[in-house]
Structure 1
Amino acid sequence: MDSAPNIDKFIDSSNKFIDIKFLKPLSKYDNLVTQNLHAAQISTRPAGANGLWCFTLLPIVLIVYSLQYEVSTAYKLAACLSAGLLFYNILFHIFICITSLVFTSGLGAGCLVSGLITSTLVYSFVNEGTIFVLLFAFPTPFIFCVLLKHLLSYPKTFTLGEAVIVAQSAVISVNVIVAQNMYNLEECEDADLVNGVVITALSTVGLIVTTLCLLKKESRTLRLFIYIFTAAAAFAVIQLYTLVGLTCIPQLFVFLFMNTTRAKLLAFWLSLVLVAVFVLVLRTRQAEKATTVTRKTFHLLAAGVFATGILVDLRLIEMATGVGFGLLILVEALRKSDIEPISSALQSAFLVYSDEKDCGEFALTPLYMYCGLGFGLIAPREAPKLEQLAGVLSVGVGDAAASWFGKRYGHKKWHGQNRTVEGTLFNILSQIMTVYCLSLFDIIDCKNAVFRTTIAATATSLVEAKTDQVDNLVLPLINIIAFQFTHALS
């Protein structure tokens, strides 16, 4: 009879404990940062906190994995770069609690010291020469600093924590991809082809976006875009020939279609994409605002792509992830380009499917979801499939399940949050059941998989219940870290 009141008391006491022990001590520093952001005339995305803790997530993931496994030279480079950026961000976060000048002043001693530390780490652990260090290590903190300030210049688009993760990911990824191509850091089957296709796709999209930005608004017509697209396609072919060789087209055809399993996987992905496009067009024509639960449908469809790719063919999903990311950036650029009728159609879809976090210059929620699902690919190839599925479990399964169950059956809300305790519990349960089924049918082979998932899902779900940061971006990284700290159980 008294079980329900006792549960409510336990939940209330847990809420108060978390707030008093963990959140309130951070709020003092968070308020100082907010004041300095306002003094520097920086308008971040409206949220309850700045996400000061987010800068630690990606470096922890990369550094811990490089210690746990015998990783490739490219992975060592990523870990060293992240360690240098971690040091820079520690300095940066100390100074932003003190003064707003860190946002307005030029590149200072912090970048110089961080550049020297990054260079020392890369020189010591990557075993490349001085020119390599000068190209890919020393400039990294400077580039990061410039990019971070640029991201924060877009009003109401990023919180500080989100901007830091985006800048870290971009700087490290570009450095590693270019270094791989120039120095052949990763020696494995199809590495040159996969890296060449990804570089070609991203650089071609970058060329199109840059051209659109340079054009005056009145010059942006559909006919001119067709010319730009044609020139970009020619550029892509030439670059692919340069990066991969004269046989790049036959190599790509063989890679994609001459493997029966890979061809079936591509057909399955195409069917999911067609379903997503059909639903998107149908809902847009109805002009009916999508609910949170409706938006999570796309999480499940995208999770189906990433999950099957990770479980069946890592090389293919790595290539597809790079190409797909470029296409998403291109779609967002076209939405903002005022090229009719393309921009109007994309804007109509955006208005239907946008949520309260898409209040800034760009529609970042789809990009965050895509990156979140793909964050599991950060795990080395030697890591268990369970860890490579971290993004799928946290974003594609847990977050979607929590949203549906919380909206339908949730009553008890977390203190100061719109999320329900029932949704959080179902978040944990859905991840556990997914891993249990995958283990039951021998789809994944990992010792103590269910127990490790219980720990990781609990940690991730509690953070999801209390954070104001975009969960698609931070939850996969937290899930990976939780799996890393249960590594001994595998």
Structure 2
Amino acid sequence: MEARVILETGVVTAGCISLGTYLQDTAGEAFQLNSLGFLGCSYILLLLHQLVPQFNPGLRRIDASRILYRTRADPGIWCCALLPLAYVGYGIHVGNLPELETSFLLFTIPLTLVHYNASNLTQIAGALQLLWLRSHLIQHDVFSLSLFGAICVLFFMLLTKVPELLPRSFTEGEITLVLQLVLTVILSLTLGVLKGEVDIQDDLLSGQKLAVVAFEGVLLGTVKFWIARHLTRGRGTPLFYLTFFTTTLTVVLPLLYQSFGSSFLIDIFEFILQTPTRTKLLVSWTVLIGLSVVIVYVRNASAAGGRVSSDQRKVFHLVMLAVYVPGLLMDPSFLWTSSVIGLGVMVILEVMRMNSIWPLGAILKKNYKVFVDSQDQGEIILTPLYLLLGFSLPVWIIPMDKLDSTDLRLYAGVLSLGVGDTMASVGGAFMGRHRWPGSKKTIQGTAISIMSQLAALYGLHKLGVAVMFWQSIQAVILTALLEALTSQIDNLVLPLYMFCLLSILPT
């Protein structure tokens, strides 16, 4: 029995109970209540899958001949509940819970459990859960239900295919969470655009239109490149530019024309330079990107063939703090758009690095090497992408038209990663003496993390952010404990967990 896993599960469960107790009194509509009940039953099944192997070592994951998942980390199946909890929690809180997107996220939990433990009991329990929301699903048209079913099947298939294509890049929980994120976006966009519920020309804000087009272009271009290379075994560089060029001509430019009209370049520049604040933010972010490049070169030169330490890598957390805090306070909608586009750029750069695409591939490979985290065991380097995701997910979950710089939920990534994770690492390195059971993290580092986040909360309060004292303290303490105990990648799970806890706060 591993004490760390037991403690980690206890921390996650405490947060879920806290959120569930609050939502039980808040939910009013039938779908909200059913979603909450579905989550509760799903989490009980998750607990069994998480804890039973700890008491029966024969059930633990062992496959030395074919390692598909990250080693030195437990499966982390509980991660598959994070995004559904965040989505349902915020949706109930504001009274807006889209049925199909929510149902998909809920269904991914039993699908995940069946995939990783295909016992008769798991399959029967999963089938019974699928019937839970049947009355809500049958109200939708055939097209929507067909798309919903196709996305669910795709999710189940990719749970197997992605780890085979990218071995040792994920734990079971991490790949589940990543697939939930990507497929929920695809489901939402497809439903909205193809059914005409979202008119790209009129209904979306300019920033959303630009972000949606950029994301679709990057996603389609990347998928087309991987498929084409796998089928043709062609050379990386020509194939890369060919697929992205054709995607730009056939997808991106038509969507830009549909969204903004024939003068889309002028409209995009007008959106970017709409206010002096956006100009200042853009200049400051450009300077910070340049500073990051300089830091990479300097650290790479000084590392002399080795790797930099974990606390040295936290300098990028500070750079992200310098990007996100002013952006959230001054223009959160502009940050929303910029972060989506930034993620697309990082995906393209990672594809270039992995495939040695001229002219940046070799340079990126050389300079990324010393910054690789011990958790990056596979071919793809995910911690930088997860860092951007961690800061951005609390912003993306909230619709752009509801973004409010005084909403503490937006700062879940800033608090948990930019302040908490950074100070836990630095403080633990200098002052850490006593370690948590089964973990490299220290109790002193966790205490410093909590105190630093409380100080940051006070600073945000002074800047006009609405901070509810006791609820915020609970969120900070539980998130700091999870940071100390989890073997999942912090950048991905901590912000979502804190966002769930902050969903208790009044709007």
Match of 1:428 among 444, 450, 471: 450
2:52 to 28, 32, 44: 28
- Residue 78 (structure 1) aligns with: 101
Task: Show the counterpart of 2:144.
Answer: 133
1:328-348 CA distance string (max 9 Å, x none)? 111111011133453221111
CA contact (8 A) 1:115 1:139 kept: no
Supply the distance in 1 between the matched residues of 2:170 and 2:68 (Cα, whole angstroms): 9
C-alpha spacing 1:92/1:280, structure 2 compared with 1 (3 Å): same
Aligned match of 1:11: none
Instruction: Note closer, same or farther for the CA distance 1:135–1:474 as it changes in structure 2 (3 Å cut).
Output: same
My pick for the range that moved more, 422-431 or 334-343, is 334-343
Letter in 1 for 2:312: T
Paired residues for 1:406-425 under 5 Å: 406-425=428-447
Stretch moving more, 350-359 or 262-271: 262-271
Matched, 1:193 2:186: no
Alpha-carbon distance between aligned partners in 1 of 2:457 and 2:10, rounded to the nearest angstrom: 32
Match 1:61 to one of 86, 104, 112:
86
Q: Which moved more, 1:357-366 or 1:23-32?
A: 23-32
Change (3 A) 1:22 1:409: closer
Aligned equivalent of 1:271: 287
Q: Is 1:476 matched with 2:495?
A: yes
1:325 is matched with which residue?
Answer: 343
| Aligned counterparts of 1:440 and 1:134: Cα–Cα separation in 2 | 48
Give yes or no for contact 1:325–1:367 (8 Å, CA) kept in 2.
yes
Q: Answer yes or no: is the 8 Å Cα contact 1:122–1:133 preserved in 2.
A: no
Out of 460, 478, 481, the position equivalent to 1:438 is 460
**What do residues 22-77 of structure 1 show as CA deviations (whole Å, max 9, x unaligned)?**
89984532667965662994521013411021111111111121111133x7x554
Q: 1:303 to 1:441 in 2, by over 3 A?
A: closer
**Higher relative contact order at CA 8 Å, sep ≥6: structure 1 or structure 2?**
2
Go from structure 1 to structure 2 and tell me whether the alpha carbon gap of 1:36 and 1:419 turns closer, same or farther (over 3 Å shift): closer
2:76 to 40, 46, 51: 51
Contact 2:311/2:426 (<8 A) preserved: yes
1:170 to partner: Cα distance: 1.1
Contact 2:420–2:450 (CA under 8 A) maintained in structure 1: yes
Which of 353, 363, 371 is 2:389 aligned to?
371
Report the CA distance between 1:192 and its aligned residue: 4.9
CA distance in 1, matches of 2:189, 2:496: 21
SS at match of 1:419: coil
* Cα distance, 1:20–1:53 mapped onto 2, change above 3 Å: closer
Instruction: Name which of 180, 186, 197 aligns with 2:192.
Output: 180
From 429, 449, 452, the counterpart of 2:471: 452
For residues 100-146 of structure 1, give each alpha carbon's deviation from its aligned partner in whole angstroms, at most 9, with x where no partner exists.
xx9xxxxx99998877766754565xxxx514523542323212111
**Shift in CA distance, 16/296, structure 1 to aligned 2, threshold 3 Å:** closer
User: 1:4: which partner in 2?
Assistant: none
Q: Which residue of 2 aligns with 1:283?
A: 299
Contact 1:276 1:301 in 2 (8 A): yes
Deviation, structure 1 residue 473 = 0.9
- Given that 2:214 and 2:344 are in contact with CA atoms closer than 8 Å, whether structure 1 keeps it comes out as yes
Counterpart Cα distance in 1 of 2:173 and 2:293? 32
- Counterpart secondary structure, 1:46: coil
- Give me the whole-angstrom Cα distance separating, in 2, the residues matched to 1:416 and 1:190: 51
- Determine the C-alpha separation between the residues in 1 that align with 2:199 and 2:444: 45
- Going from structure 1 to structure 2, the CA distance change for 1:452 and 1:33 (only over 3 Å counts) comes to farther
How much does 1:205 deviate?
2.3
Q: Which moved more, 1:403-412 or 1:210-219?
A: 210-219
Q: TM-score, normalised by structure 2?
A: 0.79
Q: Tell me which of 484, 490, 493 is aligned to 1:465.
A: 484
Report the CA distance shift for 1:22/1:141 in structure 2 as closer, same or farther (over 3 A).
same
Q: Distance in 2 between matches of 1:78 and 1:402?
A: 36
The 2-side partners of 1:212 and 1:259 are apart by 38
AA in 2 matched with 1:481: C
Q: Take 1:139 and 1:230, find their aligned partners in 2: how far apart are those partners?
A: 28
Q: Does the residue aligned with 1:191 lie in a helix, a strand or coil?
A: coil
Contact 2:439 2:485 in 1 (8 A): yes
Counterpart position of 2:175: 163
User: Structure 2 unaligned runs (5+)?
Assistant: 13-46
Matches within 5 A, 1:329-408: 329-377=347-395, 378-379=397-398, 381=402, 385-408=407-430
- Aligned mates of 1:175, 1:19 — CA distance in 2: 32
Whole-angstrom distance in 1 between the partners of 2:245 and 2:109: 41
Task: Decide whether aligned partners of structure 1 residues 135 and 408 sit closer, same or farther in structure 2, where only a CA change above 3 A counts.
Answer: same
Q: Percent identity?
A: 25
Structure-2 separation of matches of 1:270 and 1:203: 24
Aligned equivalent of 1:149: 160
Matches within 5 A, 1:231-242: 231-235=246-250, 236-242=252-258
Structure 1 unpaired stretches of 5+: 1-13, 103-107
Q: Which amino acid aligns with 1:162?
A: E
Whole-angstrom distance in 2 between the partners of 1:317 and 1:89: 33
Q: Distance in 2 between matches of 1:87 and 1:302?
A: 35
2:188 paired with 1:209: no
Distance 1:296 1:470, change over 3 A: same
| Distance of 2:168 and 2:128 partners within structure 1 | 31
Instruction: After superposition, give the CA deviation of every residue in 1:228-284 in whole Å (9 maximum; x if it has no partner).
Output: 655554443233113443343232122111222222221121121111122112323
Residue 40 to residue 439, structure 1, CA distance change in 2 (3 Å)? same
Instruction: Write the distance in 2 (CA, Å) between the matches of 1:16 and 1:165.
Output: 19
* 8 Å contact kept, 2:70–2:377: yes
Q: Which residue of 2 aligns with 1:307?
A: 325
Deviations 1:289-310 (A, max 9, x none): 2221221111121232233322
| Aligned: 1:292 with 2:304 | no
Alignment CA distance shift 1:320-1:52 (3 Å): same
Letter in 2 for 1:310: L
Bigger mean CA deviation after superposition, 339-348 or 60-69: 339-348
